[in-house]
Structure 1
Amino acid sequence: MAELPDEFPLPGLPEQVQIYEVGPRDGLQAEKEIVDTRTKIEFIRGLRQTGLTAIEATSFVSPRWVPQLADAAEVLAGIGSADGIRHPVLVPNQIGMDRALAAGATEIAIFVSATERFAHENLDTTVDGAIELAAPVVRQAAEAGIGVRGYVSMCFGDPWEGRVPIGQVLDVVRRLADLGCRTISLGDTIGVATPGHVQALLEAIGGTGIGMDRLALHFHDTYGQALANVLSGLRCGVTEYDASAGGIGGCPFARSATGNLATEDLVWMLNGLGIEHGIDLDRLVQLSGWMAGKLGRPSPSRVVTALYQEAAADQLF
């Protein structure tokens, strides 16, 4: 069994959080070597066994843009369904939505950018154009009773445009809320956020009437700030956090984006704070160590590095 930190709760923090696992999609999408479909399916099934209840399975983006996710339909079919576990999929536009529905998707995520340059680099459009692409998808999902999550990239900084004004982010967040996105995930796509910036953005969003219960936070650990930024989010009342098992992933369209916040590192901190999350850390560590072996390199997660035991991982499958 993995060792656990002593619990020292801090006043004013939520009692429970939702961890939204992005490893199978955001984690793998930047991998240069194609990961075989069977490994992806085993990875997702393993994640289910850790207690995670929201696991983003894949993306129905064009295989030409992201070859790693060309097997989206096969992955979704291969994992099937499981009681109490959500498997959202990312869709970029109406074509992606049609493919996702045909493959049996029951929850989707759409993505837009807070900056014009990234909207061009990522979707070959503008901020307005990305929202216009998303609008009919969200409407169709609502008519079908399918939940929609909205991602906003580059909320804290952009590698081409530099600083991103808070008002610019607010405008996009408001528009996604008006479209009907159930949750809006604020992305620190290149990992430049700091705790004060996180608090300032969340307070500004709260001032528009959008509650913290509709927000999620998506941090990258480029400058080692991800966990500090999570703590800032917790202090503001946000209870949903994106993370990637083993810390894998980045963004293939943002040159300076490095790995996502590692799910294990987040769980370790939440354990120390006495915040409920429902994850079996020991099993998650062994799974991520196994996946790192499949990818051919050590996991960047500090907790995986500290606790992984190869012999235990051999018993997973």
Structure 2
Amino acid sequence: MSGAAQVEIVEVGPRDGFQSIGPLIPTPTKIALIEQLHAAGIRRMETTSFVSASALPQLADAPAIVAAVARMPTLDSQVLVPTARHAERALAAGARHLSAVLSVSERHNMGNVRRTPMESVADYTQMVAMMPADASMRLNLATSFDCPHVGRIDRDAVLALLEPLVAASADVEIALCDTTGHADPAQVRGLFAAAADRFPQVRAWAFHGHDTYGLGAANVLAAWDVGIRIFDAAVAGLGGCPFAPGATGNVATEDLIWMFDHMGVETGIDLQKLVDAARAVAELPGAQVGGRVRQALGARACLAAS
């Protein structure tokens, strides 16, 4: 599709999705699913997270995952790190694309990493300083739209927190995250437009959304309308934040690929192979899945077979 508009999909199912599943997923199963997603054309993936094993035992195998994906040279594997200490662990394990996270909401940030947002800003500054020359950073700003404890987040609060974060480094990709899935298209469009206008020096912006109220794809399209071209999504709609009770999964990757394919936007991802991977993910014990395209294509296939 030469000359077509393009979008970059960041598959976050192996991190945001897997962390929400209760029964431990064997490491070889995780690696096999990551390989299946890669075979579908996904070239950027949040594969794991370096966090406390007692808090999220599902991700205790992070070093093994980093070692396995290192054998996939065409995969850009990013790993989530909530603190500088965990960033050190990730770098020591060989990770070279870190994804830092802090929350706009003080209550959410305290619940997540037991520190205030400004304390996390100081911690993030340490992360930026320790980054090797061959490594890159993404910054996830959680609860940019809504907090499970205090409700809707004021736009000015997001912009105010971005000031010291951008001052620490503008050479990062910043994702504004709808952690609870409460955002609406007008709010998404307005915040991204305001952030891009206030901080034109930021290298790139991304959107991370959940589908709690069925607006995941609509919010992605709203961000697209104001120039955002990087979107997080989770295969089969997996996801849910342990520190945001009631939040359901991320917007399903296959739903976004269906939408962008029909808009004539190039994704580089094979929808049928992706749906096959989504069906495998949906069979994981304890997986809570979402999305519509997987089910619609399955129903179409059953109708054709009959």
TM-score by length of 1: 0.89
Contact 1:220–1:257 (Cα < 8 Å) also in 2: yes
Question: 2:270 corresponds to which letter in structure 1?
Answer: D
Aligned to 2:197: 207
C-alpha offsets along residues 231-273 of structure 1, whole Å, 9 cap, x if unaligned?
1111101000000011001101110211100000000000111
| 2:168 corresponds to 1:167 | no
Contact 1:288–1:299 (Cα < 8 Å) also in 2: no
The one of 128, 131, 149 equivalent to 2:138 is 149
Question: 1:99 corresponds to which letter in structure 2?
Answer: R
C-alpha offsets along residues 112-132 of structure 1, whole Å, 9 cap, x if unaligned?
111111011111110101111
Q: In the TM superposition, what is the alpha-carbon distance from 1:138 to its structure 2 partner? A: 1.5
Q: Specify the SS of the correspondent of 1:135.
A: helix
Aligned to 1:177: 166
Aligned to 1:195: 185
Question: 1:107 corresponds to which letter in structure 2?
Answer: H
Question: 2:99 corresponds to which letter in structure 1?
Answer: A
Change (3 A) 1:151 1:125: same
Aligned to 1:239: 229
| 2:29 corresponds to 1:43 | no
| 2:18 corresponds to 1:67 | no
Q: In the TM superposition, what is the alpha-carbon distance from 1:80 to its structure 2 partner? A: 2.6
Q: In the TM superposition, what is the alpha-carbon distance from 1:207 to its structure 2 partner? A: 2.2
Aligned to 1:260: 250
CA distance in 1, matches of 2:212, 2:15: 19
Structure richer in strand, relative to its length:
2
Q: Specify the SS of the correspondent of 2:140.
A: strand
Aligned to 1:4: none
Identity of aligned residues (%): 39
Change (3 A) 1:298 1:188: closer
Contact 2:281–2:287 (Cα < 8 Å) also in 1: no
| 2:117 corresponds to 1:127 | yes
Q: In the TM superposition, what is the alpha-carbon distance from 1:34 to its structure 2 partner? A: 1.1
Q: In the TM superposition, what is the alpha-carbon distance from 1:98 to its structure 2 partner? A: 2.0
Change (3 A) 1:308 1:42: farther
Aligned to 2:215: 225
Question: 1:264 corresponds to which letter in structure 2?
Answer: E
Q: Specify the SS of the correspondent of 2:19.
A: coil
C-alpha offsets along residues 74-94 of structure 1, whole Å, 9 cap, x if unaligned?
111223332332001111223
Q: Which moved more, 1:276-285 or 1:212-221?
A: 212-221
Count of residue pairs brought into register by the alignment: 296
Contact 1:173–1:184 (Cα < 8 Å) also in 2: no
Question: 2:210 corresponds to which letter in structure 1?
Answer: H
Q: Specify the SS of the correspondent of 1:56.
A: strand
CA distance in 2, matches of 1:186, 1:41: 28
Question: 1:194 corresponds to which letter in structure 2?
Answer: D
Aligned to 2:304: none
Question: 2:71 corresponds to which letter in structure 1?
Answer: S
Aligned to 2:45: 55
Give unmatched runs, 5+ long, in structure 2. 302-306
Aligned 1:8-19 pairs, distance under 5 A = 15-19=5-9
Q: Specify the SS of the correspondent of 1:289.
A: helix
CA distance in 2, matches of 1:221, 1:212: 27
CA distance in 2, matches of 1:196, 1:149: 25
Question: 2:241 corresponds to which letter in structure 1?
Answer: C
Q: In the TM superposition, what is the alpha-carbon distance from 1:213 to its structure 2 partner? A: 5.8
Question: 1:198 corresponds to which letter in structure 2?
Answer: V
Q: Specify the SS of the correspondent of 1:35.
A: coil
| 2:256 corresponds to 1:290 | no
C-alpha offsets along residues 3-23 of structure 1, whole Å, 9 cap, x if unaligned?
xxxxxxxxxxx8111001101
Question: 1:184 corresponds to which letter in structure 2?
Answer: I
Q: In the TM superposition, what is the alpha-carbon distance from 1:296 to its structure 2 partner? A: 5.0
Contact 2:211–2:249 (Cα < 8 Å) also in 1: yes
Contact 2:69–2:75 (Cα < 8 Å) also in 1: no
